[in-house]
Structure 1
């Protein structure tokens, strides 16, 4: 079965549930998790500034776009959208912010009418496990800078049968918002 054979809404539901229900030691090898007694990695927002930019790709049978603003105020803000058959299927609002001596990634999903999928005060949260100049490993989600113009995001998930799996999104650097 290929990524395009699975309805997008089932895959996104799996992504949402994957973080909360995933065994801490059950992630694919290059998607790291914090053990229950581990502390998040030390980092500042400048350590992940390389994520900023306009990123475009294809997934779930449609076009994907992830836009990250540069660091400001010890945080970055991003948005994701999926467009299939010229219709928005869903949005995500994301932040990466300094918390203590580390970083935490938070996200919320929204339908095309901006109705939230998660409870009002409950974002999906991914603490930082490890960071380098080309990779940021959050608990269950990995950002990798494959080249100056290629960003890969990998998310841990569980299959219907409970087996560990992953979703990989590959983005290329897009044009700026003015089309240039």
Structure 2
């Protein structure tokens, strides 16, 4: 399972968007969830629409909302079935990761990863964490450890901000889990 920093490094495009519908190829076929992007976190341009595997929850179908305080564990729905989340709701706000493959933007559906978390707002804890990791990933590899430590320390200085404290804790986790080079 990739860490948050690894997800950001691998992604070509990271965005926040709203679920607007679904499309299926035929009866009994797997579907695609349609998302209207509203905010670009990484990438060169905000696409008009993106797709990911799955469908909209039907009446009575089990759907788990993402924990807005969680930064490491994926939505529980990503831990069963196809090992990636595939049931969503219309108007759900999602933070999504995409890669370029053969000139096309493709959902980065890594198993057991935080690639399709629903978020309560554009300034939620997970969005803020991904922004922090995106800034770090944009640096040369030899500068990343120092940047992460500086970011962690700046977040810890915000004593009344629980989200900042949680992101600082997550950065500590990343520093312990990731082999960042000391210099280029």
Relative to the length of structure 2, the TM-score reads 0.28
Give the strand-richer structure, 1 or 2.
Answer: 1
Between Structure 1 and Structure 2, the one with more helix by share is 2
Q: Indicate the structure (1 or 2) with the bigger Cα radius of gyration.
A: 2
